[in-house]
Structure 1
Amino acid sequence: MSWVVLIVSGVLEAVWATALGKSEGFTKLWPTVVFGVSLALSMGGLAWAMRDISTGTAYAVWVGIGASLTVAYAMITGDEAFSLVRMLLILGLVGCVVGLKLVGHD
C-alpha cells in the first residue's frame, strides 16, 4: 500500500508544480488553491509512505514521478518544446524509478 500512496503522491507533485506555474506568483485564485491542496496531499502521502519505504528511495521515486509528469505535461500542452532527446531522458528517469522499486530492500 505504501508504494501506491507514494505513486499517487508523485502524481500530485506534478499537479502542484504545474499549478504553481499557472498561479503566476499566487495572483490567480484557482491555480493557487489547486497548488495548496495538492501540495498538502502530496507531502502527506510522501510522509505516510516513508513509514515503510526508506527515505532515499521514497524521495527519489516521488521526485522522479513528479518531474517526469511535469515535463511530459508541459511538452504535451506546448508550454515546453518537444524533442526526442528530452523524451528519452524522461524515459531514462522513469526506468531508474522502476529500478529503485525492483531492487528495493524495504
Structure 2
Amino acid sequence: MSWLILIASGMLEAVWALALSASNGFKKIAPTVLFLVSLTVSMAGLAWAMREIPTGTAYAVWVGIGATLTLLVGFLRGEERPTLVRVGLLLVLVGCVVGLKVVS
C-alpha cells in the first residue's frame, strides 16, 4: 500500500509543479489553490510512505515520478523540446526509479 501512495504522491508532485507555474507567481487564484492542495496531499503521501519505505528510496522515487511527468507534460504542450538525448535521459531516469523499486 505504501508504494501505491508513494506513486500517487509523485504524480501529485507533477500537478503542484505545473500549478505553481500556471499560478504566475501566485497571482492566479485557481492554480494557486490547486498548488496548495496538491502540495499538501503530495507531501502527506510522501510522509506516509516513508513510514515503511526508506527515506532515500522514497524521496528518489517521488522526485523521479514528479520530474518525469512534469517533463512529459512539457513535451505534450510544446513547452519542452523532446530531443533524442532528452528522451533517452528520461528513460534512464524512469529505469532508475523502477530499479529502486525492484531492489527495495
Q: TM-score, normalised by structure 1?
A: 0.96
Q: Which residue of 1 aligns with 2:98?
A: 98
Post-superposition Cα deviations, 1:21-45, rounded to whole Å, max 9, x if no partner, equal 0101000111101100000000000
Q: Which runs of 5+ in 1 are unaligned?
A: none
Q: Which residue of 2 aligns with 1:68?
A: 68
- Residue 82 of structure 1 and its aligned partner are, at CA, apart by 1.8
Q: Which amino acid aligns with 2:79?
A: D
In 1, Cα distance between equivalents of 2:22 and 2:82: 20
**Partner SS, residue 37 of structure 2:** helix
In 1, Cα distance between equivalents of 2:19 and 2:55: 26
Q: Which residue of 2 aligns with 1:88?
A: 88
4+ residue runs over 2 A deviation: none
- Residue 88 of structure 1 and its aligned partner are, at CA, apart by 1.0
Q: Which residue of 2 aligns with 1:36?
A: 36
**Partner SS, residue 82 of structure 2:** coil
Post-superposition Cα deviations, 1:51-87, rounded to whole Å, max 9, x if no partner, equal 0000000000000000010011011111112212111
Q: TM-score, normalised by structure 2?
A: 0.98
- Residue 6 of structure 1 and its aligned partner are, at CA, apart by 0.1
- Aligned residue pairs total 104
Say whether residues 1:11 and 2:2 are aligned partners: no
